Structure formats: structure tokens, C-alpha cells
Structure 1
Amino acid sequence: MPQPIFDIVILTDSRYINPSVPDGYVQNVLKEDQIVKEALEARNLRVGRKDWADSEFNWEQTKAVLFRTTWDYFNRFEEFQGWMEEASSKTHFINSKILINWNIDKHYLDDLNRAGVSVIPTRYLNRGNGMSIHQIHKITGWRDTVIKPTVGGAGRHTYRIQPENIDIIANKLIEVMQKEDFMLQPFQESVLSSGEWSFVFFGKNFSHAVLKKAKPGDFRVQDDFGGTVHEYIPKESEINFAREALMACPELPVYARVDLILNNSGKMAVSELELIEPELWFRMKPKAANLLADEVIRLIP
């Protein structure tokens, strides 16, 4: 067995390894990974940074890997699953493989709901069950909805469905829905007015929060679609609400992002819980990387 040359490797994807002319988006990725790298190195850890799909690297040569910006995995899902299976036998995953396998598919929202965590109502259209977009709308009675894959990110195959466009969206997704599971949720009006809050935790410790707002005329808060991010000072009750979702996980994550919105009844609800490769906005709060590093160092074998 080869001797480890790294204590930890920060995982990214090929787009963020030595980019020739990085735009502002990529510069943010590089800056935040550098902030994390420096925080880990300050604790005398040997730190590398690798594309998860780097076929030339032997994953036995690092004691642990930290999932950070592996933002192509949902477009290469079968390949990613194969890599996970192989690499997890050679090195330690942060977050753990248990958490990643649980969180990678948004059916986890059902688990949170059963644990008493308030989530957005969700119905699933699993591939092969024959259920169409029209049928699920008829069953639920929902007329204004959002549909997206249960495995995905960055707004991939995500659409707002209303009576005037349901035929268009159904036809657009008919082929991909034969290959992937999808989820349907009633559209939450507050996304347009209030936006979405993200709460960042390291272990049980709350670090910081941001408010994400969609650009006018859109409902997607991701910066890929023109969304903006703003500093947010939360109330203690909001932090505690977000922490309830954290404590409903199969095990306590090293890092987590809890996304909250106001539901159509005006109450806070979890929209997503991100445990694999969430954006954590270290550029807005660099000292947060120290909290992450403190959690990581406890797990280095």
C-alpha cells in the first residue's frame, strides 16, 4: 500500500483545475478553495486539491478527501457512483459516505418530514412508474408547481409549471423522466418576494447565513441564473429551526447547509439540506474556514 502523501485532498472537478482564463464565477471557486486550504494547512495538515475524476491519482495516497466543488457529479452520476465505491475503500470521506448516499437523492426530504421537520410538500415521479406530469397535478390539485430531478443541482431540468405551460414542460421532460426520478412541489410564492435563506453549520456549530434572491422575472436563486447573495443576520429561533434539520440526519455532518424558505402559509420550511458539495460562501466569511478545519482535523486518521 502506498504511503499517503496528503492528509487531506480538497475535491473539485476538472473545470476548476488550472483554468486558463477564469471568469468571476471560477475565481470565486478558486478563492474559496484557497481559503479552506490555508485553514487546513494552518493546522499542519498536508493538503492537496484534485479533480474527483482524476484517473491518475491513487486515492490511497491521501488519508481523507473533503468534498467541496464536485459540481459535475449529477451530469456524470453513474461514473461518480463508481468512483465513490472505489475511492471510499481507499480513503476517508468528509462528509461520510453514509451521509452522501443519503443526501444525494432528494427522497431524503421524506425522512426529514417523518422526523418532524417542516419541509415543502413533495410528490415523487419515479422513473418507470408510468405517472405523468398531468396525472400528478390532477392527483395533488396543485396548479402552480416546481419540478426537478431528485438527483441534480444548479437548476438542472428545473421548471416552474403553470396551466399555460404544462404541456410544453411535459413534452420537454418526457424523455429524461424515463431515465431519472423527479420531484414535484407546489410553488412557494415567498421565493419571489423574500428569497431563500441558507444556514451554514460545522458540526453542531452555526457559522453564518446568507439570503439568496432571484433576479426579477425568475424564481431560481442560483447565481447561474442571475441570482444574488446577501449577508443575513438570523434570529436565534431561525438558527434553532435550521439545526433541527441537521439533527435529523443519519449522523451529524462535519459541514452542512440548510436552505429555508417561507411556505405558502407563511411558516419556515426546509427547501433543501446540502451535505455533499454545498457552496458555503467562505469569501463572505473567511474565518468560517477555521470552524471547518477544526471539525476536519478530528477525523483525519
Structure 2
Amino acid sequence: MLDVIILTDERYVEPKKKNEYIDNVIVEDGLVLKALENLGLKVKKIAWSDASFDWTQTKIALFRTTWDYAEKFTEFSDWLIDVSIKTQLINDYETIIWNLDKHYLDDLKDKGVNVVETYFIEPKDQRTLKQIHQELGWRDTVLKPAISAAAKDTFKLTPENVTDHEDRFAHLINDESMMLQPFQRSVTERGEISLMMIGKEYTHAVLKIAKAGDFRVQDDFGGTVKDYTPSQAEIDLAVAAVNACQTTPLYARVDIVNDNGGNPAISELELVEPEMWFRKNEKAAEMLASEIHKIFQH
């Protein structure tokens, strides 16, 4: 019987090919694994999609680098229901289900948390992108699915290119919810801030910067990362976002940009499998392990 399974995707279990990206994944998972083992827990790293593993044989399944779930979403959803019955998930099942769908931004807004202005377009909507922009009075925007990862099907729209994306939008909106946000100028001017939280405690932060000519800050698209010291207002906003969750997540990454009014605003609250940059603050991995260890002491 294991105490903790660190959940990853099959590409990162025993990768034959190595690059900086994969090396970082191995380091991140390794820091968490070591911190848990140092507290006397029996730990193993397994792909969530590993059909050979009996999930009743671990007390906790900890989501870390399950970054292929978006491409296998139906399979992942079915697995999630099944595994939630067999073991304890961290973060918990209800939190994961809530956080997988970006409609959670409306929930945060309803609780008084400043989020990036967002308009949701629901399945089967017959309007064109041009019509929706005219109704909202918006010009430069970003369109993406309400359930997505790693900027999949994410487009920056302008009055000049909106018609180029109508066919793709019509295909996507037939089956899924989409979200439209005014393009936040600070994303290209300054970048996006990620604040890491263990429970309700801020641990460290990074600034993600898109490569020249792009607006996507993910390293998949050439983005870079720098250490960052957040303002008190940014820390307070991250704490407010975590406090607005129905149950306090054991870990969270809070992504913040300056909105077009110049105020810090939540762009994403990542509670499922966020990159946490533990390699930039190993103490945060130890704090996460300590919080998990407390579960075994109750």
C-alpha cells in the first residue's frame, strides 16, 4: 500500500528523450517526491492513464503534471469519476471539477474578486464572432474554450482578422462553451504574474513573458520566466481568490495581469495541475509535503 501517488502523464514517467522542458518536469516532480519521502511517506510517480495500477492501493493521489488531460478529456473525465471513489484526490474532486471549467471566473467575480472581464458564449450559439463583438462593443479580444489547457484553440482577434476565425469558431461552438475577453495590453507590455499558494499562504512568484510578436506566455510558445516579487495588492488578490473557493485548495497557482484599467485582475486560478516552479523555491515543495503529511496525522 502506498501513501501518495504523484500523478503525471505517460510522457514523463520514464522519458527516453530529454530536453529542458522535460528536465524541468522531472525536477519538479522529484522535489515533491523527495519532500514527501523525507517525511516518511511511501511515494511513487505514476501516469494517471496507467490502466495497470489499482487506485485503491494508494491513500492519496496528488495531481502534478497530468498535462495531457486536455487532449484526452473524455477518458480523463471518466477516470476522474472512477478514481475519486477509490482514493483521496488532492486537490479534491469537487475543486477539480469546478476548476476545469473557466466559468469559475464568474463565481470569483460574484464573490467580489477582480477578474479579467469575460463573456461566455454557450454551445449552439448561432451568432458570428463579428456580431458578438459588435454587441459587446469590443475590438481586440482573446477567444478560447471554457475548458482548455496550454492555450489550445486560443486566438487573438482584431477587427481585421475576426472573419478569418469564423469557420473555426462555428465548429468549436457547436460542441463546447467558448470565452471571450478584451485583450489585456499589459500581457504583451509587462507579462503575466503567477503567484504560488500552499493553502492560504503565498510562497513565491514568477513573471511570464511572451516572446516578441506573440501574446501567449506559456513556454510551449516560446515564453520565458523570471523571478518576481509581487506587490501587496497582488498577494492580497491571490489570497482573496483562494478564499473564494468553496473549500481551500491544498495548492494553487494564481495568474494575475493588470487589466486595461490598470488594476491587478485574475486571469486564471489553476487548481488541477498547475506548474508551480518548485525549482525556484524548494521550500514550497516541502510546505506542500507537510500539508499532505498532516492528513496522515488525523
| Deviation at residue 70 of structure 1 after TM alignment | 0.6
Work out whether 1:28 is the aligned partner of 2:24. Answer: yes
Name which of structure 1's ranges 278-287 and 58-67 shifts more when overlaid on structure 2. Answer: 278-287
Code of the residue aligned with 1:159 in structure 2: it is: F
Name which of structure 1's ranges 15-24 and 172-181 shifts more when overlaid on structure 2. Answer: 172-181
Q: How does 1:3-152 map to 2 (within 5 A)?
A: 5-152=1-148
Work out whether 1:238 is the aligned partner of 2:234. Answer: yes
Code of the residue aligned with 2:286 in structure 1: it is: N
Work out whether 1:154 is the aligned partner of 2:126. Answer: no
| Deviation at residue 174 of structure 1 after TM alignment | 2.3
Whether contact under 8 Å (1:145, 1:161) holds in the other structure is yes
Code of the residue aligned with 1:255 in structure 2: it is: Y
Q: Matches of 2:70 and 2:147 in 1, distance apart?
A: 6
Whether contact under 8 Å (2:125, 2:173) holds in the other structure is no
Whether contact under 8 Å (1:125, 1:131) holds in the other structure is no
Code of the residue aligned with 2:173 in structure 1: it is: M
Partner of 1:190: 186
Provide the aligned C-alpha RMSD in A: 1.1
| Deviation at residue 224 of structure 1 after TM alignment | 0.5
Partner of 1:219: 215
Q: Matches of 1:292 and 1:35 in 2, distance apart?
A: 10
Partner of 1:292: 288
Q: How does 1:238-257 map to 2 (within 5 A)?
A: 238-257=234-253
Q: Matches of 2:226 and 2:33 in 1, distance apart?
A: 24
Q: Matches of 2:152 and 2:18 in 1, distance apart?
A: 22
| Deviation at residue 288 of structure 1 after TM alignment | 1.2
Whether contact under 8 Å (2:125, 2:174) holds in the other structure is no
Partner of 1:201: 197
Query: Secondary structure in 1 aligned to 2:5?
Result: strand
| Deviation at residue 39 of structure 1 after TM alignment | 0.3
Code of the residue aligned with 1:206 in structure 2: it is: Y
Code of the residue aligned with 2:33 in structure 1: it is: K
TM-score scaled to structure 2, two decimals?
A: 0.97
| Deviation at residue 44 of structure 1 after TM alignment | 0.4
Partner of 2:159: 163
Q: Matches of 2:130 and 2:68 in 1, distance apart?
A: 30
Code of the residue aligned with 2:93 in structure 1: it is: K
Name which of structure 1's ranges 60-69 and 14-23 shifts more when overlaid on structure 2. Answer: 14-23
Partner of 2:260: 264
Name which of structure 1's ranges 91-100 and 127-136 shifts more when overlaid on structure 2. Answer: 127-136
Query: Secondary structure in 2 aligned to 1:299?
Result: helix
1:132–1:295: structure 2 CA closer, same or farther, 3 Å change rule?
Answer: farther
| Deviation at residue 295 of structure 1 after TM alignment | 1.2
| Deviation at residue 205 of structure 1 after TM alignment | 1.1
Query: Secondary structure in 2 aligned to 1:298?
Result: helix
| Deviation at residue 113 of structure 1 after TM alignment | 0.4
Q: Matches of 1:59 and 1:155 in 2, distance apart?
A: 30
What stretches of structure 1 move > 4 A for 4+ residues in a row? none
More helix by share: 2
Query: Secondary structure in 1 aligned to 2:39?
Result: coil
Name which of structure 1's ranges 103-112 and 131-140 shifts more when overlaid on structure 2. Answer: 131-140
Q: Matches of 2:127 and 2:78 in 1, distance apart?
A: 29
Code of the residue aligned with 2:287 in structure 1: it is: L
Q: Matches of 1:18 and 1:92 in 2, distance apart?
A: 25
Q: Matches of 2:46 and 2:34 in 1, distance apart?
A: 16
Q: Matches of 1:129 and 1:21 in 2, distance apart?
A: 43
Query: Secondary structure in 2 aligned to 1:55?
Result: coil
- Where structure 1 has 5 or more consecutive residues not aligned to the other structure, the ranges are none
Identical residues among aligned pairs (%): 48
